[in-house]
Amino acid sequence: MKERKHYTKKVESNPTPTTSNKSKKLSQWHFIEWQKAYQFVKGVQIRIAKATLAKDWRRVKNLQRLLVHSFYAKAIAVRRVTENQGKRTFGVDKVLWNSPEQKYQAIFSLSAKGYKPLPLRRVFIPKANGKQRPLGIPTMKDRAMQALYLLGLQPVAETLADTGSYGFRLERSTADAITHIHQIFSHKGKKTNQPVEWVLDADIQGCFDHISHDWLLKHIPMNKRILRKWLQSGVVEFGQLKRTEEGTPQGGIISPTLANMALDGLESLLAEHFGKKTGSKIRRHKTYLVRYADDFIISGISKELLEEKVIPLVKGFLAERGLTLSESKTKVVHIEEGFDFLGWNVRRFKGKVLIRPNKKNVQTFYRKVKETISKMKMAKQSDLIRVLNPMLRGWAIYHKHQVASKAFGRMDALVWRALWKWCKRRHHNKGIKWIKEKYFCTTATRSWVFGTVYTDKKGDLHPIDLVYCSGVKIERHIKIKSEYNPFLPEWELESELLRQRRLYNQEKHRRIWSWLFKEQQGKCAYCHQPITKQTGWHDHHIIYKMNGGSDSLKNRCLVHPTCHTQIHALNLTISKGAV
């Protein structure tokens, strides 16, 4: 077997488009070398993150300018806005970039010279409480410009972010945030005189709509002229143009990062006031912060500390940014009373912290399922199953890391009841036995399974069954390390190990690893010694994902854990020597 080696090629930042006989038939959009594009952009982003750590803001500014003027960064920005879920959502100009020719020409239209964003198109989406959330939809060009400048801003945001912040950040999720909360309140194996048992459940009133423009223009390290134009572009609502004097619009690509950067710094402020210092390090805290976007909780050792000291400090922090706490939704509770966060209820029962799907989340989801079943009264059974399965599977996967077995069983019972009512309505003159034989079947693990057989376009028969929430296995979530930074090379090994542990139970990835094992004849790709159960193995990306490497089989190999550590240590030493 040939040894796989890590190699890099010199990448030009501004290639000139060329024409050929083939390109006359196909757009030059199809000839862009995306691997080189991602490698170049990732390389500049890593340099921006390192400059941010060194507080070298002049170098950060120069690297950001290099990035936003490069052909590859512009191409990636256009690709992002034309391949995401909003690719068919137009702005006030009603222009979409659908064809390859339009996408390629759009690359050369992304320039700061003479750039003037158009107003936002106001749309409203329903919220869980029955109210409506306003969104501001930029035009395709404005979205692409925001995606372009976000490439240079995101390494700075990730490097300066609070370690307890998890919303709208790379490789972080709600599961990481709730696992962090569990670690704070779980006293198992801890020896502490003052346990953290009180919680400030806070809510910011209209966070995105009220962030101060002056604060953003003063503290966000990016092109101020471009940022000012975005913030003051205005919005078209019910045919009228309105000025935007505060806030950053929900719907803009760069808005979540701006909101995160506006709220970053609260964790260090709390540590400064309520952290017990020993020498130059802070070892123990009286308060802990966990934040997901604009939703956050602050835990404390006493109710008086949170009410008399923490709340005034938080209000002052938010006031500088033009924000306020919602008096009606902000409260201080004991952990044994419990609180809701991100669709879960966190509460301590008899000394044990349990996290379950909260009642509001369960009721909202069941209402959505029931409405879907009601709307499809005359649909085929197979079509109804195709619509319900993604909904049920997605909800169960969201909650599968917590104490959700009872909630899953209850949801299955409620869905079964709704489906039985759907069946009886269609055949009101038939008996129970006839309806059961027509719409339900028995499998090896369950009886009364809502399933049928459908015919595909080729005429072949295929069975299709309803997904049951209780069939989703409950498994512990592996939390990402709070200090993880996707733009620093020293975290690439941790990123690969975390990705492997999270994907281990998925059959698709187990087949991939089995294929790699056979291709390598059961030997490590680095030291060529056998891989066994005793030695273990790691899934290594030859060209790091941080440097734009893909998940393709050509870019992956199996190595020993020790060899994996050695590879990353050598590459890190080489990269530091090159810098």
Mean pLDDT of 297-319: 93
Residue 177 pLDDT > 70: yes
My answer on whether 315 and 455 are in the same domain is no
Radius of gyration over every alpha carbon of the chain, rounded to an integer in angstroms: 27
Place of tokens 């029931």: 370
337 contacts 227 by C-beta, under 8 angstroms = no
Whole-angstrom CA distances from 425 to 430, 441, 447, 453 are: 10, 19, 22, 21
My answer on whether 154 and 113 are in the same domain is yes
Neighbours of 130 (CB within 10 A): 6
**Top-confidence residue, 279 or 356:** 356
pLDDT confidence tier of residue 505, bands split at 50, 70 and 90: low
**Local structure of 222: helix, strand or coil:** coil
CA 52/CA 58 separation, integer angstroms: 10
**Local structure of 453: helix, strand or coil:** strand
My answer on whether 449 and 401 are in the same domain is yes
- Residue 337 in domain: yes
* Nearby residues of 222 by Cβ (< 8 Å), 6 or more positions away: 64, 149, 152, 153
- Residue 67 in domain: yes
Residue 127 pLDDT > 90: no
Residue 575 pLDDT > 90: no
My answer on whether 335 and 294 are in the same domain is yes
Give the 3-state secondary structure of 249-263: CECECCHHHHHHHHH
My answer on whether 340 and 460 are in the same domain is no
Residue 424 pLDDT > 80: yes
Give the model confidence (pLDDT) of 507-524 as tens digits.
566 677 777 877 888 888
Domain that holds residue 118: 24-160+213-239
My answer on whether 137 and 182 are in the same domain is no
**Residue from 290, 252, 249, 257 nearest 152 by CA:** 257
CA 400/CA 392 separation, integer angstroms: 12
CA 94/CA 513 separation, integer angstroms: 46
Place of tokens 């030009």: 12
- The tally of domains found in the chain comes to 4
Nearest-10 Cα torsion for 378, 384, 388, 390 = -140
Residue 63 pLDDT > 70: yes
My answer on whether 279 and 317 are in the same domain is yes
pTM for the full predicted model: 0.82
41 contacts 562 by C-beta, under 8 angstroms = no
Residue 113 pLDDT > 80: yes
The per-residue pLDDT for 4 is 33
* Nearby residues of 370 by Cβ (< 8 Å), 6 or more positions away: 418
Mean pLDDT of 449-459: 82
The per-residue pLDDT for 578 is 52
My answer on whether 165 and 256 are in the same domain is yes
Residue 571 pLDDT > 80: no
- Residue 554 in domain: yes
Give the model confidence (pLDDT) of 258-281 as tens digits.
999 999 999 999 998 887 655 445
Percent of the chain past pLDDT 90, that is, above it, reads 53
**Residue from 327, 370, 362 nearest 344 by CA:** 362
**Top-confidence residue, 400 or 85:** 400
235 beta partners: 120, 242
The per-residue pLDDT for 314 is 95
CA 474/CA 238 separation, integer angstroms: 47
Residue 92 pLDDT > 80: yes
Give the model confidence (pLDDT) of 133-154 as tens digits.
788 899 999 999 999 999 999 9
The per-residue pLDDT for 179 is 94
* Nearby residues of 72 by Cβ (< 8 Å), 6 or more positions away: 11, 13, 36, 37, 38, 40, 41
CA 93/CA 120 separation, integer angstroms: 10
Give the chain's count of helices (H) and strands (E). 20, 18
Percent of the chain past pLDDT 70, that is, above it, reads 89
My answer on whether 272 and 170 are in the same domain is yes
Give the model confidence (pLDDT) of 467-482 as tens digits.
999 999 998 898 999 8
My answer on whether 273 and 261 are in the same domain is yes
Mean pLDDT of 383-405: 95
pLDDT confidence tier of residue 567, bands split at 50, 70 and 90: confident
Mean pLDDT of 8-34: 56
Arithmetic mean of pLDDT over the chain: 85
My answer on whether 387 and 439 are in the same domain is yes
My answer on whether 190 and 256 are in the same domain is yes
